[in-house]
Every structure is written in C-alpha cells, then in structure tokens.
Amino acid sequence: MTDHTFDLVILGGGSGGYAAALRAAELGQSVALIEKDKVGGTCLHRGCIPTKALLHAAEVADTARDASAIGIRATFEGVDPAGVRSYREGIVAKKFKGLEGLVKARGITVVSGEGRLEAGPAVRVGDDLYRGTDVILATGSYSRTLPGLEIGGRILTSEHALELDQIPRSVVILGGGVIGVEFASVWRSFGADVTIVEALEHLVPNEDVALSKGLERAFRRRGIQYSLGVRFQSATQTAESVTVTLEDGKLFTADYLLVAVGRGPATAGLGYEEAGVTVERGFVIADERLRTGVPHVWAVGDIVPGLQLAHRGFQQGIFVAEEIAGLSPVVIPDSHIPKVTYSHPEVASVGLTEAQAAEAHGTEGIVSYEYNLAGNGKSEILGTGGVVKVVRAKEGPVLGVHLIGDRVGELITEGQLAVGWEAHPEDIAPFVHAHPTQSEALGEAFLALAGKPLHAL
C-alpha cells in the first residue's frame, strides 16, 4: 500500500469534480482527481454534449425539409445514423482532448480507478490511499428506472439511446421531463413516431405552466403524441417491440421504450456512510456552503439535493475550491441557476414560476406579463413561435423569467442577471436591445412591466 498526500483529493471527475480541481489548482493547491472512467463525466461523454450534438443534427434535418418555404431549393434524403454518430463522437473527442490538456496544464494529478472514501479524510483506490487536507465528493448520477422495470433489450436509458445504430420507427418515452422531451424532439425530427408518457399533468412539469402548455401545443403541431396524468404500470417486450401498459389500461406499442424518469445520486458502495457522511435517499446531506457533517469533507453536483445540472456542478465545484482557499464565495441558490431544455422549441427559465411567486408573495403581491414571439422580428425570420414571460413583485424586483421558442436558451443569462441582482423592470427598461434580435422580446416584457410597452398593447 502506498500513501499519497495532496492539499485536495476529489472523488469524481465530472462537471463538479473537474471544475473544483481546475479552480483549486489555479489557487495554488496540489490536487488529485480520481475518476473511474473519463474526466468530463456524464455531461461530456453521455449527456449534455452528445445529446446537444444530436439536437443540432435534428435541427439541420428539419431545416433541410422546410428549406423551400424560404425559397431555398434543397432536398432531404434521410438520416445517416453512422454519419450522425461520427459527428457526435467527433465533438465529444475534441472537447475531451481539450479538457485533458487543461487538466494537465494546471498540474492536476489524475488517478484512474474506482475510489472509496475513508476516514482521514482520504480516498482509497486499489492498494493506494490518497490523503487530502480536504476531500470533495463529486460522484455524479445515474439513470433511474422504476420498480419492476428492467433495463435491457428494447428498454433503454438515455445512455443506451445514444448508442443506437439505427433510427427507430417508433418510440415510447417514459417521462416528460428534460431528457424525455429532448429525445422526443430528436427522434421526431429524424422521422420516428414518438409518444411521451408522463404521470404528472404537464410536460416539463417543473417549469411555469405557461411553458408546459406552450411545449405541449408545439409538440402536437409536430406530431409528437403524449399521455399526461396517468401513471405507468408495466412493460413487456418481444424480439421486435415493446408494449407499455398504463394504470388506466391504455396500451402503447413501439420499437423501443426510453426510460427517462430522472437521475439518481451515485453514492452507493463508496464508503460515504461508513466514513460518517450523512446520506438520505442516496443524496449526500451538506449545508449551504456544501460542507458535509464530516470535517474537511465536501460534496458537489448531482449527489447534493437540488437541480441536477452540469452548470450547477461547475458553480458548486468552483465555490468549494474558493471556500477551502478562504475566499468566502457567495452562495447561489438553486432558484438563481438557469435551466434550459434544448428541444424544438427550447424551454428556458430562471427564478420563481408564477405559482411559486404567488405562494411566496401572495397573489396580489405579484405581476406577470407575457410577450408573444409573434411580435418579434428575428423570431419571425427564424420561423419560431413562443412566449417570454416575466414575473415581478408588485412595485418590486423581477422574480422569474420564463421563455419558450427556438434558441431562447441563449437569452436566459440576461434573465439570470435580472433575477440574481433583484433588478426592477424600471431599472432594465432604459437599456436597449439590438435590433433585430430575439433578446428584444425580453426587453419588451421588461418595458411592459415598467409601464411603457413599445411593440405591445
């Protein structure tokens, strides 16, 4: 057995782990980053990046189909699965090579292998023990399934769906959250018949209801079917198909079933509880500064209760590295972290929904405004519909920004600034948005809430 000593030992090289490693190294600490697979984790290799590459390929397919509508003569001959796979893998490979170079340049020691937390604090990898003045737990998440629903054959998780070497003729997707609607969007653009099964009353149920209803309307127009408000009961498969049964007896049969019911924290069997870390329902319990109950042991990313987003992991990793260094970084609440669903159309939000704002401030204490993208020139040029919805406290700051429409994910940072800085619409209204841009739609909503609408009544 060999002992190794570092200022900081990080278990998990995904978004939260490698962000913490990069920032800590930048601050002069010696860092060991322990990863059993590849640095970059789920986001780079099996999540954010490859799925967004697929979504871009889907957008190109739709553009080619509809080119004649804008006077461009083009033909759509179909989707080449091998070509799409090569494109997707090329993007991932370039990003991975760049990340490896960055980690190496910062002098971070990358340890390949499965780690287990031990008292000390330390992480054991095989016969070696990596001791740190501080240890950060950043082991990420895995695709959940439901009791009695076994993954395999024609029943897939998102990781398996990425590896399909064909375009399905038909798919049932269990779960209408971010992962489910993104894959529904891709497969529909590629020509598949798609049905989403969501047990709650709306698609993307964590969003403001105006966005959920807008996405439902858009998906209906695209021919994406969905069942809402009825729970899944069972699934059976043959060599050729999968049949899904709901609790009301309704049946759906397709080539594949994608299980997209969320992600669980990857904490089992890693020694957390044995080392004294409190774990509830698989999640590591940490305080607002991401300290666990064990001195000098921290937790970041998907294993911490809250939003499971790569950029939340980045933010938390940077936060802990700076906290350890004594920089006293500012705590960012989950409500100030932007969310984007990269479907066609996109859904983006930050802050409180109208319902949450009403619960916090009372129905009479809030005002909301919706601006339709039909009035926005750039959206008309792009051929997208949608809505910008802004919620404010009456006579007070912006509480939430909610967007639906193609490419609106690029607008949400302005919304984050407005919410995070507690700006009043009157503060923002004097600032000019470039014309023609989709950002003008957000500006119009702020103008309206400030009492001086321009392109709206």
**Tell me: the pLDDT tens digits for 271-320?**
999 999 999 999 999 999 999 999 999 999 999 999 999 999 999 999 99
Q: What is the mean pLDDT of residues 225-252?
A: 96
Q: What is the mean pLDDT of residues 201-223?
A: 98
Pairing state between β 232-237 and 242-246: antiparallel
Return the percent helix, strand and coil in the chain, to nearest 5: 35, 25, 40
Sequence-ordered list of residues with C-beta below 8 angstroms from that of 147, at least 6 positions apart, any chain: none
CA angle 18, 309, 48 (to 5 degrees): 80
Contact 275, 119 (CB under 8 A): yes
Is residue 122 scored above 80 in pLDDT? Answer: yes
Q: Which of 45, 202, 402, 435 is catalytic?
A: 435
What is Dmax (Cα atoms) for the chain?
A: 74
Burial 108-131 (b: 16+ CB within 10 A, else e): bbbbeeebbbbebbbbbbeeebbb
Is residue 457 scored above 80 in pLDDT? Answer: no
CA angle 133, 139, 142 (to 5 degrees): 175
Backbone angles phi, psi at 16, to 5 degrees: -65, -45
pLDDT at 456: 77
Q: How many whole angstroms separate alpha carbon 54 and alpha carbon 186?
A: 7
Instruction: Band the pLDDT of 454: cuts 50, 70, 90.
Output: confident
**What is the DSSP-derived secondary structure letter of residue 325?**
T
Q: How many whole angstroms separate alpha carbon 362 and alpha carbon 356?
A: 9
Is residue 100 scored above 90 in pLDDT? Answer: yes
Q: How many whole angstroms separate alpha carbon 221 and alpha carbon 180?
A: 18
Q: Is position 296 annotated as part of the catalytic site?
A: no
pLDDT in tens, 170-199: 999 999 999 999 999 999 999 999 999 999
Q: How many whole angstroms separate alpha carbon 4 and alpha carbon 89?
A: 35
pLDDT at 453: 85
Q: How many whole angstroms separate alpha carbon 24 and alpha carbon 35?
A: 17
Is residue 1 scored above 80 in pLDDT? Answer: no
pLDDT in tens, 17-43: 999 999 999 999 999 999 999 999 999
3-class DSSP assignment, residue 94: helix
Sequence-ordered list of residues with C-beta below 8 angstroms from that of 157, at least 6 positions apart, any chain: 143, 145, 151, 258, 259, 260
Residue 268 carries which side chain, given as an amino acid letter?
A
Give the torsion through C-alpha atoms of 346, 352, 356, 361, to 10 deg. Answer: -150
Contact 403, 394 (CB under 8 A): no
Q: Which residue pairs from 272-278 have beta carbons closer than 8 angstroms and sit at least 24 positions apart in sequence?
A: 272/117, 272/137, 274/117, 275/117, 275/118, 275/119, 275/121, 276/119, 277/117, 277/137
Average pLDDT score over the chain = 96
Helices (H), ranges, 165-247: 178-189, 209-222
Is residue 164 scored above 80 in pLDDT? Answer: yes
